[in-house]
Structure 1
């Protein structure tokens, strides 16, 4: 099996920067290829603990306190930031990391976090319009040759004679990740702008159908489907013994049997077997959603018992 495994966290549930840093360093030390975080400003259940941390502020810190692991968002909401400043932020973090950053970008969906922090939340169609325009602006700024300027005649984000600075440092620019279950606009945007398409929290069969839809759109658009990485995201709960497994499920407030069905839960062998179904469906990368950020032994167990089997 050749799946690339990355760790994916949800710090808005209540995690300080130090908590996030500890998990990122543990992920790097135990051999995972990437550490990604959500971009949310409000917890989804529970009291939110210490409150949220800003995704790109956090990633800037991690860029200087890690050395090899890939870093990014799954995903930043287009409603949160203007595309010009976001392009500068991401390029800056890419420079700070030595070229290890990836940008997941989506339309936004969680209305409550917008009303909680005074962020406008337009209707779905307008959110997708804004996402599409943000992608055009961000990639256009990054792709503009040094010494030239970038302009964009947009409805929401018109740009006039931008110097298009700062620039990412990694060859080919910062990879863009687009995901979701949309039937029309999501695949089209992914094919046009993304290096990676992500199928979040669906079964292997459903992920396979989403992958094939994106590949079909790519062929229609004249893009080689193999030029895109296909990935999925699943919550993970692994242990060698049943008692530890149940403790880990309880710690994240999930029923173990439900997790076995809707996530990657069980013994290492059971999880490897389920990972194989995603690979068979076309996934090349899996984001393992780790919800208990205090359980660093969980990452070590996944590395020792799952990652090594894949290697």
Structure 2
């Protein structure tokens, strides 16, 4: 915590592009070199496998935390997942952070030969997985043993009431969904800031005496000397889903010079309590000067 009680910034990169071993090693080292705090791996078919990717990342880095953003629990059964998590955390020297979600891409379930359950059933499995992981971590006979009591820090990501209630009850890190579908149903746009504020309030009311770090994946990062022009272009692309004022205040649309984006992030932390921001791999280099500006704040 900072002197004012605000959590200090953390910045992560979510690696989404599969690569050769040599290229993977190079980009993992680069994430650490340019100042990021966390390196995460997604869990989608066609992308790098999460656990081997993290183990290799751990072998070639020293400082960054290493996480999943986020595992689709529909692909995993708790006992096997507990083995993968604790074993990976052992191999990366206790630097792992485990991100879990209920899964949402029907085509991926089908491609994996799995039924696509109703939303409520997917959340049921997420809840079951969380509780089973905690039980297995606490079992003194479980091998590989957790590096720390209770296992690695837990992130839960989502937008619905049940998922966010689970997050408020169990998660160390809560990842809010910062996008919405465009009115015609195709593509994504930044979520309206009032909607994110409502979700943050929903979680905060349910945390009780617990504390958690709030995360957001910034899908729309445009580093430019002409913020107004870039805003106008993005506003055209989102097809009226947001007003210009809403777009300017959206915490997943980070647009401007590094200094302007740094100011936006400070304002977002003040309004939403979000201190941990993740960017997608293609934006990591352009966003790095922002990370440098806010280091230690």
TM-score range, shorter chain: 0.7 to 0.9
Secondary structure of 2:261 counterpart: helix
- Residue 177 of structure 1: which of 126, 150, 155 is its match? 155
Give the corresponding residue for 1:124.
119
- 1:240 Cα deviation (Å)? 5.2
Quick check: 1:275 aligned with 2:265?
Answer: yes
Secondary structure of 2:63 counterpart: coil
Secondary structure of 2:75 counterpart: coil
- Residue 206 of structure 1: which of 195, 198, 218 is its match? 195
Cα deviation code 1:21-73 (max 9, x no counterpart): 333211111111101121100xxxxxxxxx43211121122122221110111
CA gap 1:203/1:277 in 2 versus in 1, 3 angstroms: farther
Cα deviation code 1:139-187 (max 9, x no counterpart): 111122x2xxxxxxxxxxxxxxxx322222146521111121112x112
CA distance in structure 2 between the partners assigned to 1:6 and 1:164 by the alignment: 31
CA contact (8 A) 2:9 2:294 kept: no
CA gap 1:239/1:97 in 2 versus in 1, 3 angstroms: same
Secondary structure of 1:102 counterpart: strand
Quick check: 1:197 aligned with 2:188?
Answer: no
CA distance in structure 2 between the partners assigned to 1:137 and 1:35 by the alignment: 26
CA contact (8 A) 2:169 2:206 kept: no
CA distance in structure 1 between the partners assigned to 2:147 and 2:264 by the alignment: 37
Which ranges of structure 2 fall in alignment gaps of 5 or more residues? 1-5, 179-190, 239-243
CA distance in structure 2 between the partners assigned to 1:143 and 1:60 by the alignment: 23
Q: State the TM-score, normalized to the length of structure 2.
A: 0.79
1:83-162 equivalent positions in 2, closer than 5 A: 83-144=78-139, 146=140
- Residue 233 of structure 1: which of 206, 217, 234 is its match? 217
Secondary structure of 1:79 counterpart: helix
Give the corresponding residue for 1:308.
293
Moved more, 56-65 or 17-26: 17-26
CA distance in structure 1 between the partners assigned to 2:28 and 2:89 by the alignment: 16
CA distance in structure 2 between the partners assigned to 1:122 and 1:305 by the alignment: 41
CA gap 1:29/1:170 in 2 versus in 1, 3 angstroms: farther
CA distance in structure 2 between the partners assigned to 1:39 and 1:106 by the alignment: 10
CA contact (8 A) 1:105 1:177 kept: yes
Cα deviation code 1:199-243 (max 9, x no counterpart): 122454433322221121122xxxx14x2111211125343556x
Secondary structure of 1:284 counterpart: strand
1:160-171 equivalent positions in 2, closer than 5 A: 163-170=141-148
Cα deviation code 1:102-161 (max 9, x no counterpart): 1111111001112123133222221111111111111111122x2xxxxxxxxxxxxxxx
CA contact (8 A) 1:7 1:27 kept: yes
Cα deviation code 1:76-116 (max 9, x no counterpart): 01110111111110111101111000111111100111212
What RMSD, in angstroms, separates the aligned Cα atoms of the two structures? 2.7
Q: State the TM-score, normalized to the length of structure 1.
A: 0.75
